[in-house]
């Protein structure tokens, strides 16, 4: 069995479980201040220690996972929802002006430094989770459009597509009924990669104060809180940092593992 897939799956599942569990149970109230117990290092009562307000870091990490998942999920959803249809359309009209316009539009979005634009959008239209989602999501559109088109183009030359055309099916129907199922594995792999990038981007935006706003907990803001205290309470920086790294690592391994598992041709894993 594929060890990469298992390790990635376990790490990713841990994050999802922590997020779901936080709806019904956390060791402490994640927002409850408890000044007498502030800045504690990890111990048997506070497993990950406490912050400068005495809030329990373990509970904050659990609830923060919700924010990360929600932002990354919707951002990937925007990318798939708009990028996949555009990619299918471009592939169906290969070489035509529709293809040209869609692909040049993609190149243009790629040319924008994504972080600058995300900062611009959140700063101008107001900081917050919704604007962060939109800012991250926009840059997922060309990624999925490109992957979809790249996967769909060789399929259009295959006999079974020709058969479908002879049977009288239109380009739209062929795209949905025959092309899409055949590129699903490509899209799943790309989705896990974009999901991990989304989590990193959300953390970065929250860190500079442009992502989720208080009182919504977020890993990026926990790091921002930790910055001024890093010399006296390093655990405040280490705990959210490790949460981000393990989650992103888990998702990347999951993506690699899925790619190998879904496509035997690629079993000699490269990148």
Partner 1 sequence: MLRYTLKRLLSLIISLAIASLVIFTVIEVAPGDPASFMLGINAAEDTLAALRAELGLDQPKWQRYLAWVGGMLQGDFGTSYQYRTPVSEMIADRLWVSLPLALYALTLSTLIAFPAGIYAASRRGKASDVGVMGATQIGVAIPNFWFAMILVLIFAINLRWFSAGGFAGWDKGFFAAMKSLTLPAIALALPQAAILARVMRSSLLDVLDEDFMRTARAKGLSRGAALRRHGLRNAMIPVLTILGLQFSFLLAGGIIIEQVFYLPGLGRLIFQSISARDLIVVESVTMLLVFAVITVNFLVDLAYAAVDPRLRARA
Site string for partner 1, 177-216 (x = CB under 8 A): -------------------x---x--xx--xx--------
Q: Does 111 bind partner 1 (CB under 8 A)?
A: yes
Q: Does 6 bind partner 1 (CB under 8 A)?
A: no
Residue pair 160/98 in contact by the 8 Å Cβ criterion: no
Q: Does 270 bind partner 1 (CB under 8 A)?
A: yes
Of 90, 93, 181, 68, nearest to 141 by C-alpha is 90
Question: Across-strand partners of 99?
Answer: none
Q: What's the chain's Rg over C-alpha atoms?
A: 22
What's the closest the beta carbon of residue 44 comes to partner 1, in angstroms? 25
What's the closest the beta carbon of residue 112 comes to partner 1, in angstroms? 6
Q: Is 56 helix (H, G, I), strand (E, B) or coil?
A: strand
Residues of span 243-262 touching partner 1 by CB under 8 A: 244-246, 248-249, 252-253
Of 55, 5, 51, nearest to 26 by C-alpha is 55
Gap between the Cα atoms of 131 and 125, Å rounded: 7
Residue numbers of the site for partner 1 (CB under 8 A)? Answer: 104, 107-108, 111-117, 119-121, 123-125, 196, 200, 203-204, 207-208, 223, 226-227, 230-231, 234, 237-238, 240-241, 244-246, 248-249, 252-253, 270-271
């Amino acid at each position: 069995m594929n060890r990469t897939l298992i390790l990635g799956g376990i790490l990713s599942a841990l994050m999802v479980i922590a997020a779901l569990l936080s709806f019904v149970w956390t060791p402490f109230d994640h927002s409850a201040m408890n000044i007498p117990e502030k800045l504690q290092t990890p111990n048997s009562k506070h497993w990950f220690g406490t912050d400068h307000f005495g809030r329990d870091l373990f509970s904050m990490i659990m609830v923060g996972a919700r924010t990360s998942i929600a932002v990354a999920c919707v951002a990937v959803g925007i990318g798939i929802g708009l990028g996949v249809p555009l990619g299918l359309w471009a592939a169906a009209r290969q070489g035509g002006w529709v293809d040209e316009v869609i692909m040049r539009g993609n190149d243009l979005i790629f040319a924008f430094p994504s972080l600058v634009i995300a900062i611009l959008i959140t700063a101008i239209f107001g900081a917050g989770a919704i604007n962060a989602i939109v800012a991250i999501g926009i840059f997922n559109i060309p990624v999925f459009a490109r992957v979809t088109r790249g996967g769909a183009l060789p399929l259009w030359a295959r006999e079974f597509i020709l058969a479908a055309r002879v049977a009288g099916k239109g380009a739209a129907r062929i795209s949905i009924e025959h092309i899409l199922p055949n590129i699903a594995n490509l899209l799943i792999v790309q989705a896990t990669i974009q999901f991990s990038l989304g989590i990193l981007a959300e953390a970065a935006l929250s860190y500079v104060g442009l992502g989720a706003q208080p009182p919504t907990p977020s890993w990026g803001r926990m790091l921002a809180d930790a910055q001024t205290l890093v010399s006296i309470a390093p655990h405040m920086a280490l705990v959210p940092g490790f949460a981000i790294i393990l989650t992103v690592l888990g998702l990347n391994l999951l993506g690699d593992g899925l790619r190998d598992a879904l496509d035997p041709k690629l079993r000699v894993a490269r990148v």
